[in-house]
């Protein structure tokens, strides 16, 4: 049984974006630290993404640090009217490339200014507060204080919309009681379904969900089965994993990242990959 492809746009705050976007993290150097291996290629990938219709780019000034935002500005400014740039705060990089929390009021305010400067903007479209209570994934802890800082910066006109990242359902509920939340960004994929109930609730409330690591944490058996399904479809496991996400829920927005033009085209082709009900059932069984 063949089904129709999923709708390929969704709203992000008050903007409509294509559900296959682009994540800029991999444009930085190894370990998301330092300059890109090939500066010209990084610019070319960004320009090719926009030329192909991408209008949602995920970035952060702690990628590099400061590297990806400067590349985005160099490649794309002045920005297309429909482009939504989503950044995130809550972390910083040490001189040895470690990821450290940066959730104080001063750090968040400086982070907003750094993003504005390096992207060349007067207002940030969307800022995600990334919870840093644990380096290994979401962990409980109140995010009221840092989120209140972002809400005040939003009132000042520096931020248009606010989202949250690396969060638990309790933290999402806490955030929504403080200010309007337009997106949640967490690790989620075929093998890691801990956010199933959250995704369904967010979809019912018209809030976008942005998964990262579409192949993260698969065990060997799951990987083998995914490889077999992809081979039967004549595509790659990553493309199948992303196509599954598109069909999983209409509020899911993809942000696959790459520094390769060839891989960019593979990622964008996911929008045309239709998974029938039999394939979806096999993937859900993973």
Q: May I ask the CATH architecture of the domain 17-284?
A: Alpha-Beta Barrel (3.20)
What's residue 198's pLDDT? 98
Residue ranges of the domains in the chain? Answer: 17-284
What's residue 5's pLDDT? 64
Interval 33-54: pLDDT, tens: 999 999 999 999 999 999 999 9
What are the φ/ψ torsions at residue 120 (nearest 5 degrees)?
A: 75, 45
Q: What's the Cα-to-Cα distance from 201 to each of 162, 169, 206, rounded to whole Å? A: 18, 10, 9
Interval 64-85: pLDDT, tens: 999 999 999 999 999 999 999 9
Query: 209 catalytic, yes or no?
Result: no
CA distance 41 to 71: 11
CA distance 271 to 5: 8
CA distance 62 to 229: 37
pLDDT at position 155 over 70: yes
Q: Looking at 63, 79, 188, 209, which residue is catalytic?
A: 63
134 band by pLDDT with thresholds 50, 70 and 90: confident
Interval 221-274: pLDDT, tens: 999 999 999 999 999 999 999 999 999 999 999 999 999 999 999 999 999 999
Tell me the mean pLDDT in the region 193-204: 98
pLDDT at position 1 over 70: no
CA distance 223 to 208: 27
């Amino acid at each position: 049984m063949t089904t129709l492809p999923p709708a390929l746009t969704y709203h992000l705050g008050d903007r409509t974006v294509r559900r296959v976007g682009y994540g800029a993290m991999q444009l930085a150097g190894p370990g998301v630290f330092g300059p890109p291996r090939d500066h010209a290629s990084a610019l070319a990938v960004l320009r090719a993404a926009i030329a192909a219709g991408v209008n949602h780019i995920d970035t952060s000034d702690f990628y590099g640090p400061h590297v990806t935002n400067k590349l985005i500005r160099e490649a794309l400014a002045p920005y297309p009217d429909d482009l939504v740039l989503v950044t995130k705060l809550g972390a910083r990089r040490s001189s040895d490339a470690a990821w450290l929390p940066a959730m104080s009021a001063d750090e968040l305010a400086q982070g907003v200014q750094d993003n504005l400067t390096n992207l060349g903007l007067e207002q940030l479209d969307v800022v995600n507060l990334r919870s840093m209570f644990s380096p290994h994934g979401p962990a409980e802890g109140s995010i009221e204080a840092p989120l209140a800082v972002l809400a005040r910066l939003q009132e000042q006109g520096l931020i248009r919309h606010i989202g949250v990242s690396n969060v638990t359902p309790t933290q999402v509920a806490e955030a929504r009681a403080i200010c309007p939340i337009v997106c949640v960004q967490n690790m989620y994929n075929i093998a890691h379904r801990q956010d199933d109930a959250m995704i369904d609730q967010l979809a019912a409330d018209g809030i976008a969900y942005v998964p990262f690591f579409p192949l993260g944490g698969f065990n060997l058996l799951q990987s083998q089965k995914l490889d077999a399904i992809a081979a039967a479809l004549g595509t790659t496991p990553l493309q199948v994993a992303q196509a599954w996400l598109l069909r999983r829920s209409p509020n899911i927005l993809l942000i696959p990242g790459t520094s390769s033009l060839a891989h960019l085209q593979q990622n964008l082709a996911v929008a045309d990959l239709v998974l029938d009900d039999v394939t979806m059932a096999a993937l859900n069984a993973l």
